[in-house]
């Protein structure tokens, strides 16, 4: 798997010393737009992990950001492979894993 790519860091919400949920989401979307990466769908619900933003990407993979001032915004890309590009051993390992 490829290493995550850092596209920026979160800034504090104006007039506060923290990153609010809504302002952080706006910052993440703006950074994705500036990097020419298109998000797919919505952010993962805050109740699942209120200290982290996660959103899927159309190109495969997801973007993730720590919810704190200076938190890194990283892009984790998924590698898409065709079955015709796999070796017999790789196919057997995938079938065995279920």
Prediction pTM value: 0.78
Q: What H or E segment, with its residue span, contains residue 97?
A: helix 88-97
Place of tokens 């989401």: 25
DSSP string, 29-79: HHHHHHTT--EEEEEPPTTT-TTEEEEEETTSEEEEEESSTT-EEEEEEPP
pLDDT of residue 1: 56
CA atoms within 13 A on the CB side of 30: 10
Domain boundaries, the chain: 5-97
pLDDT of residue 83: 87
Q: What is the full per-residue pLDDT of the chain (98 aa) written as tens digits? A: 578 899 999 999 999 999 999 999 999 999 999 999 999 999 998 888 889 999 999 988 999 999 999 999 999 998 878 888 889 999 999 899 87
> What b/e string do you get for 51-62 counting C-beta neighbours within 10 Å, with b at 16 or more?
ebbebbbeeebb
């Amino acid at each position: 798997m490829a290493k995550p790519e850092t596209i920026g860091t979160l800034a504090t919400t104006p007039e506060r010393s923290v990153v609010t949920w809504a302002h952080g989401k706006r910052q993440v979307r703006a950074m994705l737009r500036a990097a020419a990466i298109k998000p797919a769908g919505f952010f993962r619900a805050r109740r699942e992990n209120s200290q982290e933003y996660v959103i899927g990407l159309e190109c495969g993979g997801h973007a993730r950001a720590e919810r704190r001032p200076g938190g890194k915004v990283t892009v984790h890309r998924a590698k898409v492979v065709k079955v015709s590009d796999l070796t017999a051993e790789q196919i057997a390992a995938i079938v065995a894993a279920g």
